[in-house]
Chains A and B, each alone.
Chain A
Amino acid sequence: MRHLIACLRRALFGSHDSPAGDGVPADIEWKGFAALLKRHRVVPLVWPVLKPRPGAMPADVQRQLAQEAASNAQQALFQAGELSILRAQLERHGIRSIALKGPALSLQAYGNLASRDAGDVDLWVDPSRYDHAVRVVLEGGYQHANPGGAQNRVLTASYRQHFHSFEFRHATTGSLLDLHWRCAPNRHLFPVTFDDLWARRVKLSIGGSEVATLPGQDLILFLCTHGARNAWYRLKWLCDVAVLVTESTEDDRQRLVKRALQLGLERVLAQALLLSERIFGVTRSPLLDPRLRKDSQVIDLVNTAERALTEDARRWAAAAPLSAKLTKFSNELRLRKSLPYKLHCLTRHLLRVESSGIVRTWRALLPTR
């Protein structure tokens, strides 16, 4: 882990005055190291650091990493294309959409599509037009993936209450799309409306079309909430936030702290900044209220995240084993002070709303048409 972090520091901050990594020793167990890169979804970031030292690693590991980086580049381009096409299709129907994470974030954080691990396309659409947006993507060749199969009203209503997106898979290309009606499963976690963000959207040019995405401080806070609700178990998420915060101006950082307070996300931001300090050794943020540094809830959140980084990733994935659910719940509960937020957490936990569990329950009760 120490060597991985050193590589990431070099990849992320090498050109700045931040501490440079100390490299990877030749006698490292390379297969395990390659697996660690994959577990944290950071092959595209680390490969350019390792590439200049081809003799240092076994040929098969070198081939594997080069292949993964190349295949990620191809995937990133296809996703950018898919994002541009989907956005245009939705726009033709008068449906506004905002790109979350994915290709848009890769451009915002790294200025390059292939620098970030390409997962799926995440699009947040105008919630008042969500059903229409679903019809548009289905007509565009996508099929329901999670929950799969035909939907009924009760199932959809339940899903809409407890989750934040439906997942679709393209019938021919296999591309994955998360179509969001809100930013997070818990509607109180990131309390910003679509209309508010749309009014302040940032436009990126991708493949000759303009794609809307989140503006500066909201982008960072959204990423912090996403990382926090997953206990930051992948370094990829922390890299995104660390690089965006490091490259912000001092004024932007002040605005970030102010915005976090405004949205009640001070713990979430403090966790991300403290974790970045601990993991990457990035400069201490003088803007962080000293009381937050000593806040026991924040300290617990940072400690949980540090443990999650080294634990089996399956413990923190959507379908975590029962033994991990309580830790996840306790982590989630600490993120915000707000009572409605905590009540929503509790409801989700009591109903065991994890992944598509609730869908399976509803299916058992109500046959889909």
Chain B
Amino acid sequence: MKTHEPTELIYLPKPSWTPAMVAVGLAALLVGLFTWFPYAIIGGAVALIASRRWIRTSIAAMARLPHSQRLSTAPIPLSGMAREKRRQAA
């Protein structure tokens, strides 16, 4: 049976600075607690804003994609490898 519908949708998330920004904010928050308190406030704010952005983009991505899908596997012997083997034998 032939079909034009993809058997699987492979989602590749776009590179993003938000995880790095959350980590930087969290680190500044913790370091600020024992060095200079304003660092903690700035760090906390950065972590909160970046986390919010991260959550929003993740929710948007989840809404676009299928909730679950069944992966299709290729039968063995795989045609490409068999072709190669036949070519070598010839």
Our verdict on whether A and B bind, yes or no, reads no
| Contacts from B to A (Cβ < 8 Å) | none
